[in-house]
Amino acid sequence: MAALQNSMPSLHHTLFVNSFPQKGLQKLSHGAFLCCKTSVSLHARAEHLSSSAAAASTSSHFQESCGRRQIIAAGIIAPLVSIVDRTPTAFAAETKKGFLPVTDKKDGYTFLYPFGWQEVVIEGQDKVFKDVIEPLESVSVNMIPTNKQDIRDFGSPQEVAETLIKKVLAPPTQKTKLVQAAEHDVDGKAYYTFEFITKAPNYTRHALTAVSIGNGKFYTLTTGANERRWDKMKDRLVTVVDSFKIFNV
């Protein structure tokens, strides 16, 4: 635990901002890009089909048949090219109805988040998605360098959870409670997951966190919701934290 204690200043700097609602730091991103990308794709496809139709109208019956075969082949090949271009399936978060996947090929992690949440930019965090109506409903991923090779080198799940909750994941003015902590392995890599509650004067947040080590980094994913919406959101948040995986880069 001494190693984890020594990491607290850096951990606090990168993770602390996730412990309470953020105002004035949010910046919507990627939405316009997605629209643009979709538009270009549709435009390109429309031009392709248009040119194919023009060629077919001036061709012989044999050429028309070949053109139709080419269009059919293109319809089959295009999805295959799309699949090949993606991150290997072993490294990608498994798609699930009502969720969208995130795969960071540079930093080596993947997870799912509920459909409808939007990506925001918050200083000190690598990735954040949140509900714009319910600001306490969010998921964030953070990383700090470490020379440790295994999360178990920092102590038991309970020890790591209590240290992070008290010194990193909640402001010192908030009351905290560790509900449970556990360990599980995925493809030979150890992960700690824990559930905790933080109480502020004007709200109570129920949260889940997953931590692990890989690529020379200490990874932390935290998701949660207002206590009053916990029963409604619990299953979705469990899906988020369980989907978190690290892969080698």
Q: Which has the closest alpha carbon to 238: 132, 113, 131? A: 113
Q: What residue ranges do the domains of the chain occupy?
A: 108-246
Q: What was the pLDDT predicted at 5? A: 59
pLDDT per position as a tens digit, 134-193: 999 999 999 999 999 999 999 999 999 999 999 999 999 999 999 999 999 999 999 999
Mean pLDDT to the nearest integer, 115-122: 96
Whole-angstrom distance, CA of residue 138 vs CA of residue 241: 11
CATH of domain 108-246: 3.40.1000.10
pLDDT per position as a tens digit, 8-52: 555 544 444 444 444 333 433 333 333 333 333 434 344 443 444
Q: Are 110 and 195 in contact (CB under 8 A)?
A: no
> Beta-carbon neighbour count of residue 40 at 10 Å?
10
Q: pLDDT over 90 for what percent of the chain? A: 61
pLDDT per position as a tens digit, 55-110: 444 444 444 444 444 433 344 333 333 333 334 444 455 678 999 999 999 999 99
Is residue 236 scored above 90 in pLDDT? yes
